[in-house]
Amino acid sequence: MIKTDIIIIGAGPVGLFTVFEAGLLKLKCHLIDALPQPGGQCAEIYPKKPIYDIPGYPSIIASELVEKLMKQIEPFNPGFTLGETAQTIEKGSDGDFIIHTSQGTAHKAPVVAIAGGLGVFTPRKPPIENLSIFEKDNVHYIVKEPAIFNDKNIVISGGGDSALDWALYFAENFAASVKLIHRSENFRAHNDSVQKALEYANDGKIEMILNSQVSGISKNNDQIVLGVDSKNNEKFNITCDHWLPLFGLTPKLGPMGDWGLEIQKNAIKVDNSTDYSTNIDGIYAIGDVNTYQGKLKLILCGFHEAAIMVQSAFKKIYPNKNNVLKYTTVTGIKGF
């Protein structure tokens, strides 16, 4: 049984910053995340993407933000249970919550902070019957290790930010060739990314195949062959090493949806007038996973919610202690 002051579900930026705010109050935290490493979406989905609304940083790469947050919380020595999903929750006879993960790991704390971002992500897969056969080696819905695409011929499908971001990234790094297939001529990505991709296409760095989509896949030795259909009824094949169908991810609350929390539009409803508490006393929800009137799904807002929530958690854990807000400019940062 892992015992702590606050169990944080979700090790994304908001969950990590919660450790810092809790540490200032001498509260110990343990984080649970289904991903094998901390960082949430910033580490798993868009590690190379710049973020522009972090105070003090005109621009910071997502993976660099995670690194700095990890460095910031080092003095407080948080615990991590990674690669496991928070599965069940119950309240013990002493009032503490007990959470078991998908691997059976048990955690115990008087306070639970759900900072699970948008929840558990499931990739939107193209409707190709035998697709699962190739998912281990040649088909990828998320880019986890860019280096495996070194000197490879890559095909990317999609017209959103993720598809264009990775097309641009691989055109600049690693890949031998990059083809971008999109079912339309209109993109759903940021204008800057679209313009840059079009420039790369004119320069021959990216081959754009528009008004087309992949309809079939087969094996050719170590490579794969993609069957492509165009809107003018043309059919042709493309041989490549890797295919990245990047059509986005569908967020789901997962097991948390069965915990008795008040859910509104696939998010956890909280009281933002006080402390971002849920309808269950002792459980809070912060970051993109929560909802309230005027909610903004920004990392910046999640940081604010974490700071407010931790103050409330302290009072719940130590009801007889008087916590006086002290600025870090006076106290400094002291670990446990």
CATH code for the domain of 308:
3.50.50.60
- Using the Cα atoms of residue 226, residue 43, residue 49 and residue 267 in order, give the sign of their dihedral: positive
Contact 99, 2 (CB under 8 A): no
- pLDDT of amino acid 228: 97
- Whole-number pLDDT of residue 248: 79
At which of 198, 232, 247 does a domain end? Answer: 247
Instruction: Verify that 185 and 278 share a domain, yes or no.
Output: no
Q: Residue 142 sits in which domain range? A: 125-247
Quick check: helix, strand or coil at residue 324?
coil
The Cα–Cα gap between 110 and 281 comes to 10
Secondary structure of residue 119 in the 3-state scheme: coil
Q: Is residue 21 part of a domain?
A: yes
- Residue 336 inside a domain? The answer is no
Cβ partners under 8 Å of residue 36, min gap 6: 82, 83
Same domain, yes or no, for 107 and 208? no
Number of domains in the chain: 2
- The pLDDT value recorded for residue 335 is 80
Question: If residue 312 lies in a helix (H) or strand (E), which one and from where to where?
Answer: helix 299-317
Q: Is residue 203 part of a domain?
A: yes
**Based on the domain organization, do 117 and 143 belong to the same domain?**
no
* Residues 185 and 85 reside in one and the same domain: no
Kindly state whether residues 170 and 309 are assigned to the same domain: no
132 and 116 fall within a common domain: no
Q: CA torsion, points 309, 310, 316, 319, in degrees to nearest 10?
A: -130
Looking at residue 119, its pLDDT comes to 64
Q: Are residues 214 and 67 in the same domain?
A: no
Instruction: Please give the helix or strand (H or E) that residue 6 lies within, else none.
Output: strand 6-9
**Helices (DSSP H) in 40-98: which residue ranges?**
41-44, 62-73
State residue 143's pLDDT score.
Answer: 81
**pTM score:** 0.71
pLDDT at position 318: 95
Same domain, 240 and 287: no
In a domain, 326, yes or no: yes
**Residue that finishes a domain, picked among 222, 247, 272:** 247
Question: What is the pLDDT, as a whole number, of residue 27?
Answer: 97
* Co-location of 84 and 224 in the same domain: no
Q: Do 184 and 227 have their domain in common? A: yes
Alpha-carbon distance of 72 to 203, in angstroms, equals: 42
pLDDT in tens, the chain (336 residues): 999 999 999 999 999 999 999 999 999 999 999 888 899 888 777 777 789 889 999 999 999 999 999 999 999 999 999 988 999 999 999 999 999 999 999 999 999 999 987 666 678 899 998 999 999 899 998 887 788 999 999 999 999 988 998 999 999 988 999 999 999 999 988 888 899 999 999 999 999 999 999 999 999 999 999 999 999 999 999 999 999 999 977 767 788 889 999 999 889 999 999 999 999 999 999 999 999 999 999 999 999 999 999 999 999 999 999 887 778 876 888 887
Q: Is residue 307 part of a domain?
A: yes
In a domain? residue 266? yes
Q: Are residues 106 and 143 in the same domain?
A: no
**Domain shared by 242 and 268, yes or no:** no
